[in-house]
Chains A and B, each alone.
Chain A
Amino acid sequence: MKFFRYIKNIFLGIWHLLQGMYITMLNFVRPKLTEQYPENRGKHVYFERFRALLTMPHDENNHHKCTACGICMNGCPNGTITVISKMENDPVTGKPKRVLDKYLYDLGGCTFCELCVRNCPFNAIVFTNQFEHSVFTKERLVKQLNRPGSSLAPKPVQKPEVKVSNGNVEGPALHKGQPVPPEKTQTI
């Protein structure tokens, strides 16, 4: 009896080995999953919510929405964002007003937690899908998000009806993190 069990176990073992080989052969003939990256550049569809790079959208008149309030800078856990503001006389009222001078973003320190975007009361910054980050020196990872010569959008920014809490957004602005059409790939 013991002998037959021994023989049976041997054949059972061989059967399981063959099953394993069947699975690998199945995958041998299946279509392959490798993403051919540089070739599929442009063809591959990225998920619109994918967080890859913080950007500040500008409209066609080179206007952005940032009022240099600094909420994003204070909310950032890693000190990734530096908002440098300057005082300027408002052309309409003539009173001195704080405007954005430089919006510096250190990609090297960013953990993509999205606190800045969620905290921004003016929807001035968004994450885009542009993920090709490699540069040769660390310094080049520090990016200036506002374009040269850009300014705050002139029409009075509506007081947002969004109730902003620290990291939590309530109200209609549900899809705030949603994409603006990705800009053209910058050459590095």
Chain B
Amino acid sequence: MKEKLINRFDWLTEADVVMSDGRLTIAVEPAKLREIARFIKECGYDFLVDIVGIDYGDDLGTIYYIAKGSDTADTIALQTKSDNRENPVLPTICDIWEVGQVYEREVHDFFGIVFTDNPDLRRLFLRERWKGFPLRKDYDADPAINPIPDRNELFIDMDALPEMESDEDGEGRTWKMMYDDNDYIINFGPQHPAMHGVLHLRVRLDGEIVRTVDPHFGYIHRGIEKMCESYTYPQILHLTDRLDYLSGAINRHAFCLCCEKAMQIEVPQRAVVVRTIFDELTRIASHLLGWGSMCMDMGAVTAFIYGMRDREKIMDIFEETAGGRLMVNYHTIGGVAKDIHPNFRRRVKEFIPYMRKMLKEHHMLFTGNPIATGRMDGVGRLSLEKAIALGITGPSGRASGWANDLRKAAPYAAYDRVDFEQVLRSGGETFDRYVIRLHEIEQSLRIIEQLIDNIPEGPYTAQVKGVIKLPEGDYFQRVENARGQFGVHITSRGDKNPYRVKFRSPSMVLVGALKEIAPGNKVADLIMLGGSLDYVIPCIDR
């Protein structure tokens, strides 16, 4: 790939294209960005993993992580910098990778970078009237600048698309309204019984039929990425559980792996295996809740309670060993926090046959139900190409036939030594997204079954220095969380605090998929589709 790039673009030098951390890192000027991005896309890199905005001090820059759709472990990083700090302008790449649109909105919101030709460059999380760009290093967090509004803000702010007058400055904007006066627009959320968390959807209806869906984020944004910049690495760990709270242990694993990779810590085998078991238990718990809440979205409340009942057993296992139920707080940099409890093995072994039996019941209760299948059949089809273009990873992507499981593609922890299947379905319809979760629970049980008797003896954590400092550089690590690929990007300058931390949330693109698959279906389907995608809002509103 490196030779290919250098042969193709004569202005690229050896110094611009660096192989580090198992991936090519290419530094380009903004003017050349689109040219090279197109070439990379043609080479098969059609999955834009994430866009990370960074404030380098003198200038603002972005890093694009791009992976191959056919092999999601094969990643390229594109780095670019905009030298104008006052009015930073970068070319958009959202016509090359569709999902770039929402990522660019996020970078625009936090860094004030204007992406020319992005059709919808509203702020993603903050209000349109918010002054300043929070993730810039010189941001003034004085509450007097952005007081809490004492009156309701008008939706007009949310419904207007900015249009660029000229490429040079962001001042000359005009606004275009998204809706007519006659449109029947209904707000689903932020407080709504069917929304998983506080998501706000502006839905344009035509009778019962959904015409457009426009998600708004930011109701519970906690500024975790900004907070991370003032925390030490062990302190950050307690926040990772609070992103996607249903796969907290897996998110934490990603951060630990990233730090361990940077510091080159050898994690003891015992910790590796225990971490893997914890991850899989978390996945089962999350899928059970996802299954239950999808059933509840379709009106079957009882199924939800059954899901919660089984999840409770996993929570008990967590509580006994780690001391926490939802916020497990177990993985640490270099290993795990405590040794496993003497009862851990017995409880897990009891849980596996119990869960198998319950899975059968869950299938009987809901999978064959003619009402349920009648509602799910043929609704919300997401094609493979669209899934890759929108970056829909995880079970939802695999339901469209996209083999994107990082546990197979780039095995981390103990996944390379266990035998399991990557569940794939080809339909991409709601029923596929529904049933794939139950099948994944079976596979997770298989993984746990193989590992639980083979936990090696030895220390449960490696020896780590008192103050953890990462060597200077950019680090990126992805893991397979219950909803898709969760990524952690750390830019370190050698301090005990990171310079910039960015989390790649799989949920954000899942909500983006709703925009794609919901129009044309009924209101009831909108809710069901939301349940089938199984997004978690705190992961979006980091």
A residues near B (Cβ < 8 Å) are 12-13, 16-17, 19-20, 22-24, 26-27, 33, 47, 49-51, 75, 77, 111-115, 118, 127, 163-170, 174-175, 177
From known contacts A16-B368, A77-B231, A165-B465, infer whether A49 and B459 are also in contact, taking CB-CB under 8 Å. no
The answer on a CB contact under 8 Å between A17 and B370 is yes
A-B CB contact pairs (8 Å), 16 listed: A17-B370, A20-B368, A23-B361, A24-B302, A27-B302, A47-B316, A75-B235, A77-B235, A112-B329, A113-B235, A115-B235, A166-B464, A166-B465, A170-B463, A174-B338, A174-B339
Residues of A within 8 A of B468 (CB): 166-167
The answer on a CB contact under 8 Å between A166 and B466 is yes
The answer on a CB contact under 8 Å between B461 and A47 is no
Cβ distance A71 to chain B, nearest Cβ, rounded Å: 10
* B61 in the interface (beta carbon within 8 A): no
The answer on a CB contact under 8 Å between B237 and A113 is yes
Find the B residue at minimum CB distance from A176. Answer: B338
The answer on a CB contact under 8 Å between A23 and B365 is yes
The answer on a CB contact under 8 Å between B361 and A49 is no
Interface positions of B from 431 to 478, Cβ below 8 Å from A: 459, 461-468
B residues near A (Cβ < 8 Å) are 231-235, 237-239, 242, 302, 306, 309, 312, 316, 319-324, 327, 329, 332-335, 337-339, 341, 361, 364-366, 368-371, 459, 461-468
Describe A's contact surface by its main secondary structure. Answer: mixed
Residues of A within 8 A of B312 (CB): 33
Residues of B within 8 A of A75 (CB): 234-235
The answer on a CB contact under 8 Å between A22 and B321 is no
Cβ distance A101 to chain B, nearest Cβ, rounded Å: 26
Cβ distance B152 to chain A, nearest Cβ, rounded Å: 28
Give the contacting residue for B323; candidates A16, A17, A114; CB below 8 A: A114
Give the contacting residue for B466; candidates A77, A118, A165; CB below 8 A: A165
Besides the known contacts A167-B237, A168-B464, 19 further A-B residue pairs in the complex with CB atoms under 8 A apart: A16-B368, A17-B371, A19-B364, A20-B369, A26-B361, A27-B302, A33-B309, A33-B312, A50-B319, A51-B324, A77-B231, A113-B329, A163-B463, A165-B464, A165-B465, A166-B234, A168-B332, A175-B339, A177-B338
Residues of B within 8 A of A112 (CB): 324, 327, 329
Residues of B within 8 A of A12 (CB): 370
From known contacts A47-B320, A174-B338, infer whether A17 and B369 are also in contact, taking CB-CB under 8 Å. yes
Residues of B within 8 A of A165 (CB): 463-466
The answer on a CB contact under 8 Å between A166 and B323 is no
Residues of A within 8 A of B320 (CB): 47, 49
Distance between Cα atoms of A114 and B369 in the complex (Å):
46
Cβ distance A72 to chain B, nearest Cβ, rounded Å: 12
The answer on a CB contact under 8 Å between B463 and A49 is no
The answer on a CB contact under 8 Å between A111 and B238 is yes
Cβ distance A166 to chain B, nearest Cβ, rounded Å: 5
Find the A residue at minimum CB distance from B242. Answer: A111
The answer on a CB contact under 8 Å between A166 and B467 is yes
Cβ distance B334 to chain A, nearest Cβ, rounded Å: 5
Residues of B within 8 A of A50 (CB): 319, 323-324
The answer on a CB contact under 8 Å between B323 and A49 is yes
Cβ distance A123 to chain B, nearest Cβ, rounded Å: 14
Q: Which 7 A-B pairs have the closest CB atoms?
A: A113-B238, A167-B234, A13-B370, A16-B368, A49-B323, A77-B235, A23-B365
Distance between Cα atoms of A166 and B463 in the complex (Å):
10
The answer on a CB contact under 8 Å between B335 and A168 is yes
Which among B234, B334, B461, B463 has the highest number of chain A CB atoms within 10 Å? B234
Residues of A within 8 A of B368 (CB): 16, 19-20
Cβ distance A30 to chain B, nearest Cβ, rounded Å: 10
Residues of A within 8 A of B370 (CB): 12-13, 16-17
Distance between Cα atoms of A27 and B319 in the complex (Å):
26
Residues of A within 8 A of B337 (CB): 114, 118
The answer on a CB contact under 8 Å between A168 and B364 is no
Distance between Cα atoms of A17 and B319 in the complex (Å):
37
Residues of B within 8 A of A168 (CB): 234, 332-335, 461-464
Cβ distance B391 to chain A, nearest Cβ, rounded Å: 31
Residues of A within 8 A of B231 (CB): 77
Residues of A within 8 A of B316 (CB): 47
The answer on a CB contact under 8 Å between A49 and B319 is yes
Cβ distance B397 to chain A, nearest Cβ, rounded Å: 29
Cβ distance A181 to chain B, nearest Cβ, rounded Å: 17
Give the contacting residue for B319; candidates A19, A47, A114, A174; CB below 8 A: A47
Find the A residue at minimum CB distance from B361. Answer: A23
Cβ distance A8 to chain B, nearest Cβ, rounded Å: 12
